Amino acid sequence: MRSAVVLFPGSNRDHDMVKALYDVTGFRPTVVWHQDATLPDVDLIVLPGGFSYGDYLRCGAIAARSPAMLDVARKAKAGVRVLGVCNGFQILTEAGLLPGALMRNAHLRFVCKEVKLEVTNDDTDFTRAYRKGQVIRCPVAHHDGNYFADPETLARLEGDGRVAFRYAEGTNPNGSINDIAGILNEAGNVLGMMPHPENLIEALHGGLDGRGLFESVVRTIAA
């Protein structure tokens, strides 16, 4: 499975993401600078975590308008899988590839800890290696992960099974509406999530719970 990681000024989880993709897929992803107007043809595009443009204006707002993102939008429309983690999720909502917005954590504090994630839907390109209802461990590290959407959007997300991950009961770290941790676009080929599955990939991390997400995409592409 071929993949690409888009690098923005201020990205800082790109190395973890590259390592995770290499470990799980066996292929080293291409790293694409945000000013590149054309991404290579790959099966999966990943927007990593970090603080693109220092979170100026709004988290992900400037990065969402970069030349690379225009091509990400074109490729997403054509069906290429796109994963945005943390700042990548913020960029996807700012780019309009996912609905809603990520606001300042309700308690106003930066949160850096492990949470429990419930796999809400296991029939997606990103979650098929998990079981519905399975609770996995996953670290979070963010200041603006408080997912918000208007009631109609929220009803659509919930009704169409587009909430891929939810913070398991009692572990919502940021005040996200409906405990939402990760959502899909309408076509199901774009996933945004605040937690970092790329940080639970090898035994040294203390767990392997994040592998399933990448294995799901590998399985989807191979099918």
Partner 1 sequence: MQVRVTITLKAGVLDPQGKAIEGALRGLGFAGIDGARQGKIVDLALAETDPARARAAVAEMCEKLLANTVIENYDIDVLG
Interface ranges with partner 1 (CB under 8 A): 57-58, 61-62, 65, 93-94, 99-101, 103-108, 146, 148-150, 175
- Give the separation between CA 11 and CA 68, rounded to whole angstroms: 14
CB of 162 to partner 1, least distance (A): 16
From the list 52, 86, 56, the residue with the least C-alpha distance to 69 is 52
Of 5 and 98, which has the nearer Cβ to partner 1? 98
Which residue has tokens 């429309």?
77
CB of 11 to partner 1, least distance (A): 20
Of 9 and 175, which has the nearer Cβ to partner 1? 175
What is the biggest distance separating any 2 CA atoms in the chain, rounded to whole angstroms?
43
Residue partners of 117: CB distance under 8 A and separation at least 6:
135, 136, 137, 138, 165, 166, 167, 168, 181, 182, 195
Amino acid code (one letter) for 96: G
Asked whether the beta carbons of 85 and 196 are under 8 A apart, the reply is yes
Positions marked active-site: 86, 196, 198
Residue partners of 83: CB distance under 8 A and separation at least 6:
44, 45, 46, 47, 126, 190, 191, 192, 193, 213, 217
Of 45 and 149, which has the nearer Cβ to partner 1? 149
CB of 139 to partner 1, least distance (A): 22
CB of 153 to partner 1, least distance (A): 8
